[in-house]
Amino acid sequence: MGLEKCLEVIEWDWKNVVTNEAVQQKLYSLDVNKACGSDGISPYVLKNCSSSAATPLALIYRKSIKTGKIPSKWKKANITPIFKNGNTTDPLNYRPVSLTSVPGKVMEAFIKEAIMTHLMENKLLSKNQHGFVKNKACVTNLLETLDILTASMSDSLEVDMIYMDFAKAFDKVPHKRLLKKCEAYGIKGVINDWISSFLKERRQRVVMGVDVSPWLEIFSGVPQGYDSKLIKVIKNVEDHESLQNDINEFVKWTDVWLTKLNIEKCKVMHLGKKNPPMSYCMNHDGKEYKLKTTVSERDLGVIISSDLKWHDQVTSATAKAQRTLGLIKRTFTYFDVEMVKSLYTTFVRPLLEFAIPAWQPYLQRDIDELEKVQRRATKLVPQRKKISYEKRLKAMGLTTLEKRRARGDLIQQYRFKQNIDQINWYKNPKPASSVTSSGPAFS
């Protein structure tokens, strides 16, 4: 529950790191499509004026690090509410997106690089952490989880999986405890002073169209919740008790660090045909709660079912894609090949392929359901509507989604082989003896 002290103190030669050249490089790599913060400074301007803006910004950055102080405008954020689901009149159904100063974000990038280098070199991060870590992402997290589940079920073992949901995790981070944790991990000196200033006197306002709320000071949280899960392979009664103990320890940790759980969204999933539905409880805020049982749960944007079939995920993905395609069809009155291809590949196809290496469909009905979206999209060009699907694909320079998924699997395997993506395999995968491929997807 306490903090284990790190003997290594962070070392950062910031004078030789935050140089004019390094600042110019970061400015030039900015995404011009990102929104600006409350200061109105656009990433488009900074990128196109990077050679001129680099020197004055580098001076400001070095002064900020040396003094441990941050310009007040970097501490202001415009909050844009993004609707999630449910009742549109309920504020709780909106996710707040924080838009901060772009020059401030560039400075944050230098600080982040120094901290991550320290944490990785001293092996201070758990190998099970996938969020905000280089070489890991949603796909690696999901594949690691599914590796445990599929391997266990192949061995006729049962698995209980507990989904823990934090209530507004990023909004509820206590600043004092965060700084204490930084110190315990050896993050001291100028970086700790900078982070302390970064967290103090922060202000935010809600922006919706032309309407703007008054500025409000914030005392907890960092600019952005996240979820955790506990997985246990069940072999006997002792394994159930062990998982319950893990839940108890997890809840104690949240109490110590003032991190609130969303009890309604904390659930248990039982996997395995002979898995007895054991009950699990949580003692939270002085009350005991029995965890609800779920047979289907959205995990990092992908719906995992207790039978490990992907029909629910396929249905969800195709529904989103069809709605987006319908919106495109209603918005535009004219379509040509290049226009349709651009709109489809930008707004529709990504919905059908998010984290796809983790949930490759294998049933023909699911494969056909996904392909149906692309069939419909290729018919948006009036002149191509009556020709075959294969000819429409060729005319638009596309290939079937099934071939793209096969190609994507090969790319993912290459990324693992080259250590571009990292994963802790529960059981090391056995490579196939040979791979046969042909066609435009593999060219």
**Per-residue confidence in pLDDT tens, the chain, 443 aa:** 445 556 567 778 888 899 999 999 999 999 998 888 888 999 999 999 999 999 999 999 999 999 989 999 998 999 888 887 778 888 777 888 888 999 999 999 999 999 988 888 888 888 888 888 888 889 999 999 999 999 888 888 889 999 988 776 556 677 788 888 888 888 888 898 999 998 888 888 988 888 889 988 876 655 544 456 777 777 777 888 899 999 999 888 888 877 788 888 899 999 988 888 888 998 877 788 999 999 999 998 899 999 999 999 999 999 999 999 999 999 998 999 999 999 999 999 999 999 999 999 999 999 999 999 999 999 999 888 889 999 999 999 999 999 999 999 999 999 999 999 888 887 777 766 555 554 444 43
Say what the pLDDT of residue 255 is: 83
Cα torsion 302, 307, 311, 316: sign: negative
> Is 160 in contact with 306 (CB distance < 8 Å)?
no
Say what the pLDDT of residue 94 is: 81
DSSP lists the bridge partners of residue 158 as 234
Say what the pLDDT of residue 54 is: 94
Cα Rg of the chain (Å, integer): 25
Say what the pLDDT of residue 16 is: 86
CA distances from 163 to 101, 128, 142, 262, 375 (A): 35, 15, 13, 11, 37
Say what the pLDDT of residue 262 is: 82
Mutual orientation of helices 20-28 and 50-67 as an angle, nearest 10°?
A: 120
Q: What is the pTM of this model?
A: 0.80
DSSP state of 249: H
Report the distance separating Cα 315 and Cα 300, nearest Å. 16
DSSP lists the bridge partners of residue 293 as 268
* Phi-psi category of residue 235: left, alpha or beta, with phi > 0 → left and psi -120 to 50 → alpha: alpha
> Is 226 in contact with 159 (CB distance < 8 Å)?
no
CA atoms within 13 A on the CB side of 299: 33
381: nearest Cα among 431, 406, 422, 344: 344
Say what the pLDDT of residue 443 is: 35
CA distances from 52 to 19, 25, 110, 175, 209 (A): 14, 12, 19, 36, 32
CA distances from 346 to 29, 96, 282, 340, 443 (A): 21, 24, 43, 10, 22
Using DSSP's 3-state secondary structure scheme, residue 371 falls into: helix
Say what the pLDDT of residue 442 is: 41
Say what the pLDDT of residue 435 is: 53
